[in-house]
Chain A
Amino acid sequence: MTDLNLTGNQQPTNTDENMGKVFPASNEKQDTVLFTDDDIFIKKIFETDSRKAFELLFKKYYSVLCNHAVRFVFSKQKAEDLVADIFVLFWNSKLYLNVKGSYRSYFFIAVRNKCYTYLKWELKKELADELNDTQIQSFHPTPEEILQASDLHIKIEHTMKSLPFRQQQVFVMSRFDGKKNKEIAKTLKLSLKTVEMHISKTLATFRKILKEESDL
C-alpha cells in the first residue's frame, strides 16, 4: 500500500499512486483527504475481524456523530439512538463492504439523512414504519443537498437563539435533557401550564420556520 501521508511541499506528479490526492499549495503539513490513515487501517481489519473493525469505527465516530445529530433532533437520547441505529444497519446489511470514500463521509451523510427523515416525521407525524425501513444506500448527495442539510441545522440553531429566554430554557430542558414537564415546572418554579405553553409555542415556531426552509 502506498504511503498516503504528505508532508512538506510536494509537487504533484502524474503517477498512479498520486491519483486522488489533494496537493496543497501551502507549505504546511496536510492530511490526505480522500482517505484517512485510519480508514486504510480499519478497512484491513474488516477483512479479518469485522466485529473488531466495527467497534473501532463506532468508538471513533460515535461522539461526533451524536453531536451533529443533536443539532437536528434536539434530544440527546434521540441523537444517540439514531446514531446507534445507523451503525446497526451498517453492520446488519454489511454496508461496510460498499463504502466508497471515507467512513467519515459515509457516516455523516447517513446521519444527516436519518435526522432529516426523523424531523420530517416529528413535524408531520408520518408513519414510524417509514422511519425504520429507511435504507441508507451508497448515495451521493448533490452540493445543493449537502448545503440543504447544513442550512437546516444552522436555521434551527438560529431560531433557538432568537427565542425568548424562558422559552429557550424550557425547551432545552425538555428536549435536550429529556426532562418531564413536571420536573421542569418544579425546577424553574413555573406552573405546569406555563411549561407546556412554552414548549408548544416553540414547536409551533419550529414548524413554521422549517416549513419555509425546506420541504418539511
Chain B
Amino acid sequence: MTELNKNILFQYFSGEASPLQKKLIQEWLQDDTSQELFYKWLEEWEKEHLQFIPDVDMASEKIMNRLDKLSTESNSSAYIFSLKKRPSGIRKTWWVAASVVFLLGLSLYIFHNNFNYIQYQTAYGEVKELTLADGSHVVLNANSSLLVPRWGFNEGDRKVELTGEADFKVKHTKSNQKFMVITNGQLNVEVLGTEFSVYSRNNTNKVELKKGSVKVLFKQEVYKPFIMKPGDVVNVDIAGKLLVLHQQPANNFIIWKDHRFVFDSATLGDAFNYIQEFFGDKIIIGDDRLKERRITGSIKADSTEEALSILKEMYNMEMVEKGDSLILKEKNKTFNK
C-alpha cells in the first residue's frame, strides 16, 4: 500500500492523477502518519523537480544577521562575530592587462532608491565573501555595504556601489565590459579585470592595486591622470589632498585578513580607527603623542579586546573603560629604563 501511494502521489504532484486517485489520497490522508509521509514524498518530489537553486549560504548568512539584529540592543561586548576565513589556497589570477580609469564625479549615482539593487551588509567584525553574477569575487570587509544589481549584469557597464572596504577580483568578460566600483568619496574605480582593494569611509578614500596596470583620473580636476602600478597606493585624504605611495608591499597600511591585523608603518591613531570601524567598539586614545607613534607588524585578533590587549603590551599602554568606550593612555613611566 505504501509503495503504491508514493507513485500515485508523485503523479498527483505532477498534475496527472485522476479524480478517483485524488479521492484515494484524500481518504489516505485521514491518518497523521500518512500526512507526515505526504510531506516526506512532497519533499522528495520537489527535489526531483527543482525549478531553481537559491544561494543557500548567502540566504543563511542574511537570515542569521537578521536574527542578530532583531535580538538585544547594541552593546559592544554582545556582538556576535561571524568571521569567515578566506579559503586557503592559491589566489587565482584573473587579471588581464588592462587600463583602469577612475571616473570623474560619479558619486551622485542614485543607487539607494533603486530596488533593483541588493544590498550586502556586513556587521562589525564580520567578513563576507560574494561571487557576483559575472564571476567576479568580492570580499566585503567588516562594517561595509555593497550594492549589487539584483538581476545580474546586463550588457553595458557592471556597476556596484561600495561604502566601507572590500577586495575585488574582477573577472574579464568577453564583451570587455567595464566593472565600476562607485563610492561616495573622491574616487571611483573602473576596471576591466584586475585585483584591487577599495577603502572608502568617512572621507578616507584609498585604492590599493595588487595586480594590473591602471590609469587614474580624479574627481578633482587639479590632479592629472596617473598610471598606477601593482604595489602602488593612492590615497585622497579628508582635505582632498592626494597622496601616492609607490612600491608598497602587497600588505600595506592596515588591513585585516585571515584573523590578523597587519600594520605597515601605520600610526597608532589610524590603527585604532581601523579597529574601531572593524569591530564597532569605541576606542579613544587619551594621548596625542601616542596617536602619532607608528607601528609595523601583524597581530592575531578576532575582537577589539584581543587586539588591544596585544597592543597594550607592545606600547606600554593601559586601558580604562568609561561608559561604552575604551580609553588608552601611556602607562606611567615607572618601569622604563
- Give chain A's interface residues, CB within 8 Å of chain B: 20, 22, 24-26, 30-31, 33-34, 36, 51, 54-55, 58-59, 62-64, 66-68, 70-71, 76-77, 80, 84, 87-88, 91-92, 101-102, 104-105, 108-109, 143-144, 146-147, 150, 154, 157-158, 176-180, 183
Contacts and interface: CB of A to CB of B under 8 A. Distances in A.
B74 interface: no
A62 B59 contact: yes
A147 to B, nearest CB: 6
A59 B56 contact: yes
Given A25-B2, A102-B39, A104-B40, A70 B52 contact: yes
A214 to B, nearest CB: 15
B13 A150 contact: yes
A80 B40 contact: no
B63 A154 contact: no
28 contacts: A22-B2, A22-B33, A33-B36, A34-B36, A51-B67, A58-B60, A62-B54, A62-B60, A63-B53, A66-B52, A67-B51, A76-B54, A77-B150, A80-B54, A87-B63, A88-B63, A88-B66, A88-B67, A91-B67, A101-B32, A144-B26, A147-B22, A154-B15, A176-B52, A177-B151, A178-B151, A180-B116, A183-B151
Given A22-B2, A102-B39, A104-B43, A62 B56 contact: yes
A54 B13 CA distance: 29
Given A58-B63, A62-B59, A76 B35 contact: no
Interface string B53-87: 11010011011101100100000000000000000
A157 B2 CA distance: 27
A76 B52 contact: yes
B36 A64 contact: no
Interface in B1-16: 1-3, 12-13, 15
A190 B46 CA distance: 34
Contacts of A67: 46, 49-52
Given A62-B54, A66-B54, A92-B70, A55 B29 contact: no
A169 to B, nearest CB: 15
7 closest Cβ pairs, A-B complex: A143-B29, A105-B39, A154-B15, A108-B39, A143-B26, A64-B46, A66-B54
B62 A55 contact: no
B54 A150 contact: no
Contact of A147 (B29, B40, B56, B70): B29
B243 to A, nearest CB: 42
Contact of A24 (B2, B35, B49, B63): B2
Contacts of B154: 183
Q: Is the interface of A mostly helix, strand, loop or mixed?
A: helix
A110 B54 CA distance: 19
B31 to A, nearest CB: 9
Interface string B16-54: 000000100111011011011111101100110111111
Given A87-B63, A108-B43, A178-B151, A25 B1 contact: yes
A154 B56 contact: no
Contacts, number: 115
B13 A33 contact: no
A88 B1 CA distance: 38
A158 B59 contact: no
A101 B36 contact: yes
Contacts of B64: 51, 55
B52 A84 contact: no
B30 A143 contact: yes
A108 B26 CA distance: 18
Contacts of B150: 77, 178
Given A55-B60, A88-B63, A102 B36 contact: yes
A154 B11 CA distance: 11
A150 B60 contact: no
Contacts of B116: 180
Nearest to B12: A150
A49 B59 CA distance: 20
Nearest to B64: A55
Given A64-B47, A143-B30, A144-B26, A26 B3 contact: yes
B37 A146 contact: no
Contacts of B43: 64, 104, 108
B68 to A, nearest CB: 9
A87 B59 CA distance: 11
Interface in B98-123: 116
B26 A147 contact: yes
Contacts of A34: 32-33, 36
Contacts of B56: 59, 62-63
Contacts of B42: 68, 108
